[in-house]
Amino acid sequence: MNSPEISECVLEHKVCTACRECDFCDLDSDKICDNCMKCIKDDEDFKAIKITDIKYD
Protein backbone atom coordinates (compact mmCIF):
# COMPACT_ATOMS: atom_id res chain seq x y z
CA MET A 1 0.00 0.00 0.00
CA ASN A 2 1.43 3.39 -1.00
CA SER A 3 1.37 6.22 1.52
CA PRO A 4 0.86 9.81 0.32
CA GLU A 5 4.08 11.76 -0.16
CA ILE A 6 4.61 14.47 2.46
CA SER A 7 6.56 17.49 1.27
CA GLU A 8 8.05 20.41 3.14
CA CYS A 9 6.93 24.01 2.61
CA VAL A 10 9.45 25.99 0.56
CA LEU A 11 8.79 29.20 2.50
CA GLU A 12 8.70 27.95 6.10
CA HIS A 13 10.00 24.98 8.05
CA LYS A 14 6.72 23.01 8.15
CA VAL A 15 4.75 20.45 6.19
CA CYS A 16 3.28 21.74 2.93
CA THR A 17 -0.44 22.47 3.31
CA ALA A 18 -0.94 23.36 -0.36
CA CYS A 19 -1.79 26.98 0.55
CA ARG A 20 -0.12 28.08 -2.75
CA GLU A 21 1.52 31.13 -1.11
CA CYS A 22 4.74 30.09 -2.85
CA ASP A 23 3.00 30.47 -6.24
CA PHE A 24 2.55 34.24 -5.92
CA CYS A 25 4.85 36.90 -7.36
CA ASP A 26 7.34 38.52 -4.96
CA LEU A 27 6.85 41.94 -6.60
CA ASP A 28 3.04 41.86 -6.99
CA SER A 29 1.25 39.77 -4.36
CA ASP A 30 -1.95 39.76 -6.47
CA LYS A 31 -0.18 38.01 -9.39
CA ILE A 32 0.62 34.32 -9.79
CA CYS A 33 4.33 33.88 -10.52
CA ASP A 34 4.98 33.32 -14.23
CA ASN A 35 8.78 33.05 -13.87
CA CYS A 36 9.40 36.42 -15.52
CA MET A 37 12.52 36.77 -13.31
CA LYS A 38 11.98 40.52 -12.75
CA CYS A 39 12.46 39.89 -9.02
CA ILE A 40 16.09 38.92 -9.68
CA LYS A 41 18.47 41.71 -10.65
CA ASP A 42 20.14 41.09 -14.01
CA ASP A 43 23.02 43.57 -13.86
CA GLU A 44 24.94 41.76 -11.12
CA ASP A 45 27.78 39.25 -11.26
CA PHE A 46 25.55 36.76 -9.44
CA LYS A 47 21.81 36.22 -8.99
CA ALA A 48 20.10 36.66 -5.61
CA ILE A 49 16.76 37.44 -4.05
CA LYS A 50 16.76 40.13 -1.37
CA ILE A 51 14.71 39.24 1.71
CA THR A 52 12.97 42.33 3.06
CA ASP A 53 10.62 40.81 5.63
CA ILE A 54 10.26 37.63 7.70
CA LYS A 55 6.83 36.67 9.07
CA TYR A 56 6.60 34.93 12.43
CA ASP A 57 3.53 33.13 13.76
pLDDT in tens, 28-50: 889 999 988 888 766 667 767 77
For the chain, the domain total comes to 1
Cα–Cα distance measured from residue 56 to residue 48, given in angstroms and rounded to the nearest whole number? 23
Structure confidence at residue 44 (pLDDT): 65
User: Interior CA angle at 55 toward 31 and 47, to 5°?
Assistant: 60
CB 40 within 8 A of CB 47: yes
Domain that residue 39 falls in: 6-57
* Amino acid 32: pLDDT: 92
**C-alpha–C-alpha distance, residues 54 and 51, integer Å:** 8
Flag whether 1 is in a domain: no
Question: What pLDDT is stored for residue 12 in this prediction?
Answer: 85
Return the pLDDT at 3: 53
